[in-house]
Structure 1
Amino acid sequence: MKRLIGALLLILLCAGCGAQKRVIFIPKSSRKPVSSACKYTYTVSGKKYCVRRSYRGFVQVGIASWYGPGFHGSRTASGEIYDMYKLTAAHKTLPLGTYVKVINLENGKSVIVKVNDRGPFVKGRIIDLSYAAAKKIGMLRKGTAKVKIIALGKRVDHRYKPVPYSKGRFFVQVGAFRNKLNAYKFKWLVSKKGYRAKVVKLRGYYRVFVGPVSTYSKAERLKRELLKRGFDGSFIVSL
């Protein structure tokens, strides 16, 4: 009888639980401010990014893209020179120097790359692979692929400082030519449309740049404007 009464009381008590908020007790020792997860933060186009203190346990699924000739020879966020023929990548929040395994979920191919740069700052994309890495997992022609990222660790201890992405010297590349005369003809066409253009020889190509502008957000606006005016394939370059 006592057991029956106890069971009925338990049912009545639980019936009232549905209207109450669920409270989870967190031990005092584990209460830490959210900022403790960040080694440092940086801002691009008004959005703040938190660089993780550790790579441990990091797994991510999303869309990968790749970057190549336009950035070949430029300095990366880690201070290294970007080489499109090496297995590297850009990621927004993993510590620089972290090695990650990137699996192309569309064909099963995988590659291990070192994160030595920041990006991609395009909505919906989680990692930018070098030309060589993108080729390894068969996504060059399509340009993007759904991937899974697994952080493996840091084989080398890199000392680095956050790069001020919000300010700098940015250009928008609108064309690249093997022939110098064609590059200058195209530069003249761009100038006729009211833009300040220049030709720079870089890695065997005569590249036509518009700019410079002083912030990444201004470069983004300039790129969108140029795309609307018919300069297809325009992209931002930092020199």
Structure 2
Amino acid sequence: MIKTGILLIVVSVILSGCSSNTAAPHPNAGRYQQERDSIPPRLPTMLEMTDPVPQAEPLSPGGNKPYSLFGQHYIPLIHSTEHKEIGIASWYGNKFHGHLTSNGETYDMFAMTAAHKTLPLPSYVKVTNLDNKQTAIVRVNDRGPFHRDRIIDLSYSAAHKLGMLQQGTARVQLELLQSPALFAATSTNNCFIQVLASEDSQRLSLLQQQLQRERALPSEIQAKSGIFRLLVGPTSNKQQAQQWLQQLKTGPFPDAYFFDSRQCS
């Protein structure tokens, strides 16, 4: 009876922490059966909490384009090879279990996954709970959390491994371990042309749309250390790269140049 009583108290505390973990409304909130998120009926197993081994994966077809939500504009960091961040983590469970993630996979609250607003999908991140020094590796395959003071939404298993279920949130550090940009760097000899660099991400997003609309050129926005770069490419065809550069330089972007001349020569 004593053990049963203690278990009920622990479950009650965890449920309280989960219910107080109020997130911003989800853009697809109407498709979920539950109005609010809730804790699963069981704890994850040790096997389910095993850290995934970072794999070299290409970008997912979905979830990697610039988007706007709740008045905020986001540009996925699809060319990032380095990323460190400190902030508040939360977690999501029953409400979203079995529904599609932003990159088209099915959310499994017992898998070691996470949601981030701008990291490339998929990518692998090491998460450190700064309060208790517990660590976990997660595969980012979703967008969120759309709550002003939070940087990552963890699966139920990942949150349990980091020891943050009772509190609902925790102060964490993120470190990017593997991303599609790292995969591309080691698997291809792609050439990019830099069109413009700026701290104004929205300006570059508008220019990117202009390039795609008027010149049908593939382009990406790369971010590093607070600087955003509008790049045309990639291409492994050196002749095509020269043609693109000539188009840009004789057009509205006379200062365009090969982003890495070693890849384009």
TM-score (structure 2 length as normaliser): 0.43
TM-score (structure 1 length as normaliser): 0.48
Q: Which has the larger radius of gyration?
A: 1
Structure with greater strand share of residues: 1
